[in-house]
Amino acid sequence: MTKRHIKRKENMNELLKINTTDSERITVSARDLHEALEVKTQFKDWFPRMCEYGFEDGKDFCSFLSESTGGRPSQDAQITVDMAKEIAMLQRTEKGKEVRKYFIQVEKEWNSPERVMARALTIANKTIETLKIENSEMKPKADYFDNLVERNLLTNFRDTAKELGLRQTDLINNLIEDGYVYRDQKSKLKPYAKYGKTGKGLFELKEFSKNDHSDIQTLITPKGRETFRLLYTA
């Protein structure tokens, strides 16, 4: 049991402050319990003696230093309601009986269908928000790797010609003559629309940057390479 992110519960007709841990487990401050039970023995002597009744640190309670308003921080512990009920019973006083009944009522309300459903919805909403954050963080990475894989699958005219065992000029001349590509006003090779990404998918246009200069490059897809292999090397 951890002490982190302790939240106060201000309802349940409080005799003592009821807290919840990260795991939504209900706990109570050992010092608050000591005060509610009206124990005469000082807390520093009383609580260690109570722990000798078989309670385990980290399971039944979690010790910590309480916040200070100027003096030295005082020792305290968050204890489970089960432990609190047993300690209340050990006092053998009317106040102990009252406090134990209070904790039984707290557990009854805490485990009511309405409260169980409310906690389940809260946990579900937290999970959804966490997944949204994780997805938003992962998307740029996924896009990067998708682009990297895609880049590795696409080849330029030189590498395609080398893969097919052709000279680059021969491959380009064949593609121009057969109406797959053309040269634009800047003499850049561009595919005809019907063979591009939205057509038969033999070519793709990719933007690249080099020395602060952006341009468009025509690349050949795996489908395009297989098409031209059968067309020009078979």
In a domain, 134, yes or no: no
**pLDDT tens-digit series, residues 178-208:** 999 999 998 999 999 999 988 898 999 988 7
Q: Are residues 27 and 105 in the same domain?
A: yes
Question: Which residue range(s) make up the domain with 35?
Answer: 7-111
Q: Which residues contact 49 (CB under 8 A, 6 or more apart)?
A: 41
The residues pairing with 215 across neighbouring beta strands, listed in sequence order, are: 208
Going by pLDDT thresholds of 50, 70 and 90, the confidence category of residue 145 is very low
In a domain, 78, yes or no: yes
Does residue 221 contact residue 198 with C-beta atoms inside 8 Å? no
**pLDDT tens-digit series, residues 163-181:** 889 999 999 999 999 999 9
Spatial CA neighbour of 222 closest among 170, 179, 159, 145: 159
**pLDDT tens-digit series, residues 9-29:** 444 457 788 887 655 678 999
pTM over 0.85: no
**3-state secondary structure (DSSP) of residue 206:** strand
Does residue 65 contact residue 121 with C-beta atoms inside 8 Å? no
Number of structural domains found in the chain? 2
Of residues 43 and 133, more confidence is placed in 43
